[in-house]
Structures are given as C-alpha cells and as structure tokens.
Amino acid sequence: MVGSRTAKFLKHGRLSVAEKRRFARVGMQGPIRWTSGDNSGECEILNMSPVGAALQVQPGSTFRMGPDVALHMQLDDGLEWFVTENAKVVRKILCPDGTYEVCVEFDQDEPEKQNRSA
C-alpha cells in the first residue's frame, strides 16, 4: 500500500528524493579522505547509506575530484576503513556557504572491504 505522502507525490507525477531512496541514510559527521586519480584531499562526511554517501567539500577540492573516487576513514587505534575503492560522483551541489555537497554512489559489484591497518 502506498503511504499518503508517497501518494501525494505520485498524484503530481513525481516522487521526492526521500521517496526514491531504496535505503535510509544515516547522518554522520567527521573527516573522510578521498582519492581520485593522482589527486586526494580531506572533506567531511554528512551521511551514508549502503549504496552511497554525501560529502561536504571545500571549493578548490571539487575541481580536483574526478568522476571516480575512493573513500577511506581513519579509525581509532591506527586502523583505516576503506569505505570504497570505486565510487562514482553523481552530483555536486553548491551550498550557500561556498562549499559543495558531493554525492557519491558506491559500486554495487565491489566486494565489502575489511578494516585494514594503516
């Protein structure tokens, strides 16, 4: 059965972004490193789901970030979590503060990565 909110959007012939998502996003905050070709940098993670993530990136970094990125996070005890080695940049949104919200989609064929020591 379609909920009333979904029905409202279907009635007008479109779905909101929230209705289109297959997975819930979990809000997060903290540094995450990205690598794209020979370029790399650090940004903030805003949220993540099993299929993607949203990042807050400083203006200069977005122009060095190509269409394919790898993401990894520093964990406690010197461990580094390789979130994905093959994500696709699907959207770059200019925010009012001059930063960019960069949305990436994870490669669904990529096997789940294990935590590795740095």
Name the amino acid, one letter, at 101.
E
Q: What confidence score (pLDDT) does residue 7 get?
A: 39
Q: What confidence score (pLDDT) does residue 49 get?
A: 92
Of 90, 87, 81, 79, nearest to 110 by C-alpha is 87
Q: What confidence score (pLDDT) does residue 110 get?
A: 54
Q: What confidence score (pLDDT) does residue 115 get?
A: 40
pLDDT in tens, the chain (118 residues): 334 333 344 444 444 455 566 788 889 888 999 999 999 999 999 999 999 999 999 988 777 888 999 999 988 878 888 899 999 999 999 999 999 999 999 987 755 443 444 4
Q: Are 93 and 85 in contact (CB under 8 A)?
A: no
The 3-state DSSP composition of the chain as helix, strand, coil percent (nearest 5) reads 20, 50, 30
Q: What confidence score (pLDDT) does residue 92 get?
A: 92
Q: What confidence score (pLDDT) does residue 116 get?
A: 44
Domains of the chain (ranges plus CATH)?
A: 22-109 (2.40.10.220)
